[in-house]
């Protein structure tokens, strides 16, 4: 065999006519025309037609009679032009074919559970069960190629900028990153555990203390959290950290990197610099901190316009400290009662108190003057309909964001094919968790803005942070911040978050000690490569761009994991599994 020197099946062109070639690949299709046998031979580069003629290559023709889909073969022959009129313009190799003189079957195949070259997408659980077959499909080969190119372009780009690629440990210590850690028991130290990294956050800060100055890594990260279409338990991020930098440095580096990816892979020039929205502005205007700017619809605060209203649905929310928000739907006067009812159900399903609209149920409760003020505050034009929500601020933001997204989808207001990037900056240092307790907005190592330091003790929710996300078309693609590099400030932030002195020492003592040995100001960001590849490949399912993903219920259908472990191995690890936790095979989706 000489597979390394053989051309790819999809690389042959008219310029190769007359060339003697040796091809290796899978049989995509076989057709017997009562004499000549035609076979489409496929490898990762594409496919080419091979002909077997009983008059010129009887042995190869005889072997070809037994070929079936997905057999692995070696073909020797000569590239020739297809007869005039039989060219296939849909194929890159459609002008040529290979006249075979040799054929060797290297491996036979059972009938696959789904057609590898079928036009219909196989059901996802079947795809994941037979992922090695799914990856043979042209679409999946393209995704793997894009992912490879993203990694190569990324390494070249950051090398030019003087960054050093440094690997950080996979077995490490639990860190507060906002999700559960995957734990690994230690055989040598009974009762103690490593954690798999949610991100290399503390390690990259320690690399700054170590004088690396410009670090990056294509890092594997793991979080034991519920999955969704754009999230995975195992994911890959570009981890990035710089010393002696500010936000502008990070913004410039990331915008340049994204521009290069989009140019090299899609042939698209990304407009720069990207617009910037504070988190509060984004939540007000778009109802989310990851806005899709391809749609120009904006949410308006109409609280002042109805501050003295007698409309009970609005007044009660405002008197309780809530807000009133409105969305002007262009040409919305044609919205049916059914459509409005569906939007109302969406609002209630998102936890909102409800939805009202104008013209509509509010007409008889508002004076003409109030209606005019509302229309003006919301930026409504003749023919528009106002959707209104009055509720607690956070809930109103969430509901209005979902309504904006749904209205844009239904009315075709999203500019397909456009790329709209933006920075969400600045963000807040602290926020409320689901139980109403104080927690960090980004992570506890984020540096507060110097002009807001006086608010840290008394009004922590008003403290802005040197923290930033970048967003494209409704997806958060990366999150970062400048870091605290002063030990006293870092300890105080931990205390404000409710951590006891012993907890601070046990979790973060190594970092705080490092801060006593000359630590440079530093900051960074961690873009999610899976989501970036997802956008570049035009899919909305992150599992499509991971070679061997888990399901949304965190199962590996191909390897049948998670799986039981031999009791002897558990004894070695000093682990005893509660009897009620032991079950049989995992349920199939």
Domain ranges of the chain: 9-107, 126-244+523-589, 295-410
Strand 46-52 and strand 96-107: the pairing is parallel
Going by CATH, does the domain composed of 295-410 fall within 3.30.470.20? no
Q: What topology does CATH give the domain 9-107?
A: OB fold (Dihydrolipoamide Acetyltransferase, E2P) (2.40.50)
Task: Indicate the SS3 state at residue 437.
Answer: coil
> E strands of 419-501, at which residues?
421-424, 427-428, 430-432, 438-440, 464-465, 467-472, 475-482
Cβ count near 496 (within 10 Å): 17
| Residue 482: CB atoms within 10 Å | 24
Query: Which run of H or of E encompasses 131?
Result: helix 131-134
State the pTM of this model.
Answer: 0.92
| DSSP assignment letter at 461 | G
Does the fold of domain 126-244+523-589 match that of domain 9-107? no
Closest C-alpha to 238, from 222, 215, 255, 259:
215
Tell me the pairing of strands 164-165 and 214-222.
parallel
Tokens standing for 472? Answer: 């494209």
Q: Digits of tens for pLDDT over the chain (589 positions)?
A: 555 568 999 999 999 999 999 999 999 999 998 889 999 999 999 999 999 999 999 999 999 999 999 999 999 999 999 999 999 999 999 999 999 999 999 999 999 999 999 889 999 999 999 999 999 999 999 999 999 999 999 999 999 999 999 999 999 987 655 678 999 999 999 999 999 999 999 999 999 999 999 999 999 999 887 766 567 789 999 999 999 999 999 999 999 999 999 999 999 999 999 999 999 999 999 999 999 999 999 999 999 998 888 888 888 899 999 999 999 999 999 999 999 999 999 999 999 888 999 998 888 888 899 999 999 999 999 999 999 999 999 899 999 999 999 999 999 999 999 999 999 999 999 887 666 677 888 889 999 999 998 888 888 888 999 999 999 999 999 999 999 999 999 999 999 888 899 999 998 999 999 999 999 999 999 999 999 999 999 999 999 999 999 998 889 999 999 999 999 999 999 998 887 666 555 655 5
Distance separating alpha carbons of residues 75 and 193, to the nearest angstrom: 54
DSSP structure class, residue 83 = P
Size of the chain in residues: 589
SS3 215: strand
- Domain at 126-244+523-589, CATH class: alpha beta
For the four alpha carbons of 531, 533, 536 and 539, in that order, the dihedral sign comes to negative
149 CB burial (10 A radius; 0-12, 13-18, 19+): middle
For the packed helices 529-536 and 138-160, what is the interaxial angle rounded to 10 degrees?
120
């Amino acid at each position: 065999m000489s597979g390394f020197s053989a051309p790819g099946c999809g690389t042959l062109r008219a310029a190769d006519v007359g060339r003697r070639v040796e091809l290796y690949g899978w049989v995509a299709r076989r057709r017997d025309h009562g004499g000549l046998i035609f076979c489409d031979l496929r490898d990762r580069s594409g496919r080419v037609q091979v002909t077997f003629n009983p008059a010129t290559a009887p042995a190869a023709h005889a072997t070809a009679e037994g070929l079936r889909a997905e057999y692995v073969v070696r073909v020797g022959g000569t590239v020739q032009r297809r007869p005039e009129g039989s060219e296939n313009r849909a194929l890159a190799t459609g002008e040529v074919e290979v006249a075979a003189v040799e054929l060797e079957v290297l491996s036979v195949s059972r009938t696959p559970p789904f057609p590898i070259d079928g036009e219909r997408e196989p059901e996802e659980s079947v795809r994941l069960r037979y992922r090695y077959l799914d990856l043979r499909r042209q679409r999946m080969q393209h995704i793997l190629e894009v992912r490879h190119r993203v990694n190569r372009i990324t390494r070249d780009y950051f090398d030019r900028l003087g960054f050093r690629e440094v690997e950080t440990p996979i077995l490490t210590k639990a860190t507060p990153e906002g999700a559960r850690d995957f734990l690994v028991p230690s055989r040598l130290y009974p009762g103690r555990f490593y954690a798999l990294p949610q991100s290399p956050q503390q390690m990259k800060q320690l690399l700054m203390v170590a004088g690396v100055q410009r670090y990056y890594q294509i890092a594997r990260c793991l979080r034991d959290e519920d999955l969704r279409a754009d999230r995975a338990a195992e994911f890959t991020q570009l981890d990035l950290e710089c010393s002696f930098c500010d936000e502008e440095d990070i913004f410039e580096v990331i915008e340049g990197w994204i521009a290069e990816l989009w140019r090299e892979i899609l042939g698209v020039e990304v407009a720069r610099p990207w617009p910037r929205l504070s988190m509060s502005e984004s939540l007000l205007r778009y109802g989310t901190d990851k806005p899709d700017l391809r749609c120009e619809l904006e949410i308006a605060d109409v609280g002042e316009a109805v501050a003295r209203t007698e409309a009970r649905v609005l007044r009660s929310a405002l008197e309780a400290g809530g807000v009133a928000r409105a969305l002007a739907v262009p040409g919305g006067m044609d919205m049916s009662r059914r459509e409005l009812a569906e939007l109302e159900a969406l609002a209630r399903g998102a936890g909102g108190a409800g939805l009202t609209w104008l013209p509509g149920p509010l007409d008889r409760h508002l004076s003409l003057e109030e209606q005019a003020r509302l229309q003006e505050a919301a930026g409504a034009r003749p023919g528009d309909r106002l959707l209104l929500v009055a509720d607690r601020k956070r809930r109103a933001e969430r509901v209005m964001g979902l309504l904006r997204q749904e209205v844009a989808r239904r009315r075709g207001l999203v500019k397909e094919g456009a790329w709209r990037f933006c920075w969400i900056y600045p963000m807040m240092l602290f926020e409320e968790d689901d139980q109403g307790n104080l927690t960090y907005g980004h992570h506890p190592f984020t540096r507060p803005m110097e002009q807001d330091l006086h608010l840290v003790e008394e009004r922590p929710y008003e403290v802005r942070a040197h923290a930033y996300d970048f967003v494209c078309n409704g997806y958060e693609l990366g999150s970062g911040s400048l870091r605290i590099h002063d030990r006293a400030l870092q300890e105080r932030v931990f205390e404000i978050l409710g951590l006891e002195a012993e907890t601070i020492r046990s979790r973060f003592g190594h970092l705080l000690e490092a801060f006593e040995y000359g630590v440079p100001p530093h900051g960074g960001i961690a873009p999610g490569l899976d989501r970036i590849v997802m956008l570049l490949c035009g899919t909305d399912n992150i599992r499509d761009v991971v070679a061997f993903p888990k399901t949304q219920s965190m199962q590996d259908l191909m390897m049948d994991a998670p799986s039981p472990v031999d009791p002897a191995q558990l004894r070695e690890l000093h682990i005893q599994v509660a009897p009620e936790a032991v079950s049989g095979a995992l349920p199939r989706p």
